[in-house]
Structure 1
């Protein structure tokens, strides 16, 4: 999949480059040049169309770059969390890869942890400890 690899490399580079101060200065410069050329073009419809078209195209492309970066970051975080769960004694390996479950299965896990949190808050209210690793059914 060379095209996928090329896209990933390009997306990484573009997302890093677009997040730098120089990219902001460049974008600001383009807008300032556009504003300054307004009187030269009589603030015409074509003059307005140039900035509208340019910003629309840039925005459209940035959506894909942002989504790609977000997907990579999310996947990396999930893998790190999975490794922490796997390496922690007493942790439930059933929690690995939760993001792949259906909504109903996630809701069942969520309800178990809501019950644990409620029990912990009740312990704190009665000066009992809310620490430890109670079992999740």
Structure 2
């Protein structure tokens, strides 16, 4: 039970880092680091650049994933043979999604 809560928390943390508020928090942190720290030394700049690029990549990946999911949801709605229960799979943890995929694959092998 505790592992499920941790996994859910980690998933939610990943989603939160893709939000615009994460960029605002990063900017505030960067300014505080420069003002209150040792200024803008090379290692500070490298660390901030790495964190900033991580946020940019996370945001782009989140956007792409959401677009794919929206398209797949639309295809599920349009297909009469599709199992509409899969449209809610986005709300599950990664491990649960993997189990669902294995079940779908097993069903397709039986058909």
TM-score (norm 1): 0.43
RCO higher in structure (CA 8 A, sep ≥6):
2
Equivalent position to 1:113, from 83, 86, 104: 104
SS at match of 2:80: coil
Structure having the higher helix fraction is 2
* TM norm structure 2: 0.51
Q: RMSD between aligned alpha carbons? A: 3.1
**Contact 1:98–1:106 (CA<8 Å) still a contact in 2?**
yes
Instruction: Return closer, same or farther for 1:59/1:102 CA change in 2, 3 Å cut-off.
Output: closer
Mapped to 1, the partners of 2:42 and 2:81 lie a distance apart of 58
Q: 1:91 aligns with which of 63, 76, 82?
A: 82
1:56–1:106 CA distance, 2 compared to 1 (3 A): closer
Aligned length: 76
Rate the CA distance shift 1:87–1:102 in 2: closer, same or farther, 3 A: same
Unpaired runs of 5+ residues, structure 2, are 1-19, 24-39
